[in-house]
Each structure stands twice: as structure tokens, then as C-alpha cells.
Amino acid sequence: MSGFSSEERAAPFTLEYRVFLKNEKGQYISPFHDVPIYADKDVFHMVVEVPRWSNAKMEIATKDPLNPIKQDVKKGKLRYVANLFPYKGYIWNYGAIPQTWEDPGHNDKHTGCCGDNDPIDVCEIGSKVCARGEIIRVKVLGILAMIDEGETDWKVIAINVDDPDAANYNDINDVKRLKPGYLEATVDWFRRYKVPDGKPENQFAFNAEFKDKDFAIDIIKSTHDYWRALVTKKIDGKGISCMNTTVSESPFKCDPDAAKAIVDALPPPCESACTVPTDVDKWFHHQKN
């Protein structure tokens, strides 16, 4: 068990919906700043934002206090990814590694583009469909360098250490060997997923080839360094909320009561009163039309 838990506020698939994280004491924390990057030696934490096969584009709200997970909004409408043939929604458990940040003021030497202003993204390829807001421990296997509308947007490939087959996966070549076609599908998905919304195809560095585990870990470590500079105010975050409860050297650190006050001001926890459509496809079709 990770010791972390989550709490939903308001109903899913609404503008008010939020998922807040709690520590083992039940105190509210930031999934961006307070969940440690490392779960163990060579094992990273991952914040699950989007369960596999789902369509709602959920993400850590980097500009909101305590950075809850919420559904992305564009032009006043909740965002969903299309069912991009032949796939259904996201084809992995999708999320981020905490305590990382792709600095928009840093020009990446590998891509020639600046960071996308978010924590580094993770595609978890194990067999379990994870829950939104779940904190899992992952083994990093490789990385893809995507360029999204002129910004560097690294995609880490990882597997849950608790997956029954995790011991068989130790580098990107194991994914190629044991899940033939999965990495090609990943590139295809990321290349085309915005096209149904009228956007151009995304581009990639390294000719869309995946880099190995060691390369990936070096990139993650560099984004951790940028996060450290952000949360200690050595870099101007320009609107990013760095409110946290654990980073001792951060001027943005607050006590648990202040964090609780942020959450208490919002709609009540989502319990039996929250009605969620049981047919996800019908719900998605309704939202798109």
C-alpha cells in the first residue's frame, strides 16, 4: 500500500469536479509537490490521472492551490480524447511523475523546444486498469520525445512494480519483445490524437524512436531539478501554484490546516449524491455531440 488516498469533490464530468490527494494521516497534500518522486531505489511514484480505456482528459491542475486532478477545459467545454481508430480512449494508464516539471524557459537540447510547463508524463503499460488519483510505484523502461505544438512533451514508458509481469520488464527492448506493436501504437496514438479536433499531427525527436531506461532516468532527474528550482522560488512559475505541505526549503510551504481550508471551501465530497453515467461510450458520445 502506498499510504496515499484520494477524495473526490463534486460530480465527475462537471466543471467543478476535483480529486484531492491525502497522505497516510488523512491530511490534504499536493500530488505535484508533496508526493515524493522516488518510491524506492530505482522506483518512481506515478500519479494516475487517466485510467486506461477512458476518454476524459484529466490532469493535475498546476495553477490551482494543492494541484487537484480536474478535467481539462477548452473554450468552456470539458475535454475528451476521441476514440482514435482502432483504439478506445487512452491505451495505457496515463499520469505524471510527481516533483518534476518541464521548464518552459529551458530549451531542450534534444528537441530544440522548451518544456510544456507540466510534470513529466507517464504511460503505464501493466495489466491493471488503475483508478483516477491512485498513486502507484513504477519501474521506468524508456521514453519518447514528443513535440506538441512547439513544446517538448516527454512521454515516459513504465510498468507498475506490482504488475504480475513486472520482473520481465527492465528496459525498452523488453516492451518491444513482450508487447509487439505496443510502442508503435503509442507513437501512432500520440501522433494523431489531436487531429479529430482539427489540430495538426504531433512531431517527435529522434525520428519517433524510444530511448532506453538510462536515458529516460536522466531526463526525469533533470525535470526534478527544474521542479526543485520552481518550488524554492529560484524560477518564476508565472501562475503555477507551488503550495505544499512537505518541502522544507520552499517558501510556499503551508501547514495542514491551511491546506484543509482550501478544500473545505469547495463543494462537498462526492458520495451517493453524485450520479455518474454507467455507459461511458454513451456519455462520451453525448459530450462530443
Residue 102 lies in a domain: yes
Q: What is the pLDDT of residues 257-283, one digit of tens each?
A: 999 999 999 878 766 445 444 344 444
- Cα separation, 41 vs 54, in Å, equals 31
- The pLDDT, as a whole number, for residue 269 is 77
Q: Which three cell numbers stand for residue 44?
A: 518512481
Residue 239 lies in a domain: yes
Report CA-CA distances (Å) from 129 to 28, 53, 126, 150, 196: 25, 8, 8, 31, 25
65-84 average pLDDT score: 97
Q: Which three cell numbers stand for residue 235?
A: 524560477
Residue 49 lies in a domain: yes
Residue 287 lies in a domain: no
Closest CA to 159 of 133, 179, 187, 185: 179
For residue 27, give the CATH number of its domain: 3.90.80.10
- Burial of residue 94, with CB atoms counted within 10 A of its CB: 0-12 exposed, 13-18 middle, 19 or more buried: buried
**53 pLDDT more than 50:** yes
Residue 17 lies in a domain: yes
Q: Are 284 and 55 in contact (CB under 8 A)?
A: yes
Q: Are 97 and 120 in contact (CB under 8 A)?
A: yes
Q: Return the ∠ at Cα 256 (arms to 251 and 261), rounded to 5°.
A: 100
- The pLDDT, as a whole number, for residue 186 is 98
- The pLDDT, as a whole number, for residue 271 is 62
Number of structural domains in the chain: 1
Please state, rounded to an integer, the average pLDDT across all residues of the chain: 93
Q: Are 191 and 148 in contact (CB under 8 A)?
A: no
Q: Which three cell numbers stand for residue 26?
A: 488523512
**68 pLDDT more than 60:** yes
Could you tell me the residue range of the domain that residue 176 belongs to?
Answer: 5-274
Residue 263 lies in a domain: yes
SS3 214: helix
